[in-house]
Structure 1
């Protein structure tokens, strides 16, 4: 069975198309430690496109591993095995005028980037350039065999698209609640009555990641679990 990976892409205001995280499956029966990342420089990442997992007082945990049955699943900032592949894929998603953000899947395939299913979404954010932040969920089948990849994708199409859509729905709903909370605070603290009109100050542009946008410190952990569940369900059906 061809390797299957799930990644979350983001168009960073500062760095352009970036992979925020990638979830991979270890070899059945292995610990999955071969997929963990060593310490790496983070100078080329900003808050908007960097990945951290909560771990008590630490704020620099950048890998997460869990086990389902006899297989390990690992989520990291990038894949040391498929870094170039995923970089090409996420650039394809954001740099060409093909990505849509209304929940409809985009499928593309070539010998260089494999078989990919992507679903894009946007979040309204006044602190972002253009007042929005763009993301995409991507499932990649790393294979040059078009027929087998298409067969696998068609067998699990509803499951994959439904899983991505539910995760995106959760992010949208929690983001909407956080936006309402922030707007309420803004109205209470920063709107001044002057000559009978309200004046609202412009919000500064700044990097913000999904945890901050949703006010969910465990969001990346949830994403890891969603991705691992999807991968495990597909792989178990073919073992």
Structure 2
């Protein structure tokens, strides 16, 4: 069975393409200790890059589904270079768009990757927007096997990502509307239009903000961890 990983990444104003969180599974019956990164310096992460759980001292989150540990961390201790290579390609692809439309690429180095991008309005970001993507990675060089798994679970995977993104957009919209008392259709336009010209112009007053701040949901990454774990467990179960 192939290894499957779900990443959340963004394009940081300061650091460029950067991973925010990685969810992966360990062997059934183990505790997945090799995947945990319980302590690491956070000074190399700006505010917009930081994975933030409700307890500030928490660096990793783990849950068990049918005795299989699923772990979400800021980065992968065993796939660090691989995932960094994947997100750099994802954000550099000319086909990368930010309206929940998926694109797929495969090569022997990066495996099979399904990428879905989205963006959120933020007046403190470059071009007044922050760009994100969810990536499902099948870490395998077997193209046929990987595509078979993806095709058999396509609707479930796409539906799962869509639910996550829709939730994030909705709570972001509520937060924006609550603080600014703007018309709803204005935010919809800002989130859905491509700000090509303005995005390329640096915003001198840009301030780092992560998804917890943008949504005002301190449990957001807990929800993402649970969503990703359930999605991975279901796909892996079908792949056996």
Compute the TM-score of the two structures, normalised by the length of structure 2.
0.88
- The answer on whether the counterparts of 1:5 and 1:139 sit within 8 Å (CA) in structure 2 is yes
Q: 1:208 aligns to what? A: 209
CA distance in 2, matches of 1:174, 1:74: 25
- The answer on whether the counterparts of 1:10 and 1:17 sit within 8 Å (CA) in structure 2 is yes
Offset from partner CA, 1:17-73 (integer Å, 9 cap, x none): 000000000111111121101422222210101112112xxx131100001111000
Task: Give the match's secondary structure for 2:181.
Answer: helix
CA distance in 2, matches of 1:33, 1:183: 44
Offset from partner CA, 1:147-177 (integer Å, 9 cap, x none): 0000000000000000000110000010001
Look at both structures and tell me which one has the larger radius of gyration over its CA atoms. Answer: 1
Q: 2:233 aligns to what? A: 232
Q: 1:196 aligns to what? A: none
- The answer on whether the counterparts of 2:52 and 2:212 sit within 8 Å (CA) in structure 1 is no
CA shift, 1:104, in A, is: 1.0
CA distance in 2, matches of 1:238, 1:113: 20
- The match for 2:145 among 143, 148, 156 is 148
- The match for 1:71 among 53, 68, 73 is 68
CA shift, 1:95, in A, is: 2.3
CA distance in 1, matches of 2:65, 2:51: 23
CA distance in 1, matches of 2:70, 2:106: 25
Offset from partner CA, 1:171-229 (integer Å, 9 cap, x none): 001000100012039xxxxxxxxxxxxxxxx9942000001101100000000000000
Task: Give the match's secondary structure for 1:115.
Answer: strand
CA distance in 2, matches of 1:96, 1:166: 24
- The answer on whether the counterparts of 1:126 and 1:203 sit within 8 Å (CA) in structure 2 is no
Task: Give the match's secondary structure for 1:221.
Answer: helix
- Aligned alpha-carbon RMSD (Å): 1.5
CA distance in 1, matches of 2:143, 2:114: 13
- TM alignment of 1:85-100, pairs within 5 A: 85-100=82-97
Query: How many equivalent pairs are there?
Result: 220
Runs of 4+ in 1 over 6 A off after TM superposition: none
Task: Give the match's secondary structure for 1:103.
Answer: strand
Runs of 5+ unmatched residues, structure 2: 183-202
CA distance in 1, matches of 2:165, 2:204: 26
Residues 1:3 and 2:3 aligned together: yes
- TM alignment of 1:8-19, pairs within 5 A: 8-19=8-19
Offset from partner CA, 1:131-150 (integer Å, 9 cap, x none): 00000000000000000000
Residues 1:113 and 2:110 aligned together: yes
CA distance in 2, matches of 1:101, 1:60: 32
Residues 1:179 and 2:180 aligned together: no
Offset from partner CA, 1:86-135 (integer Å, 9 cap, x none): 00011011123221111111100001111000100000110111100000
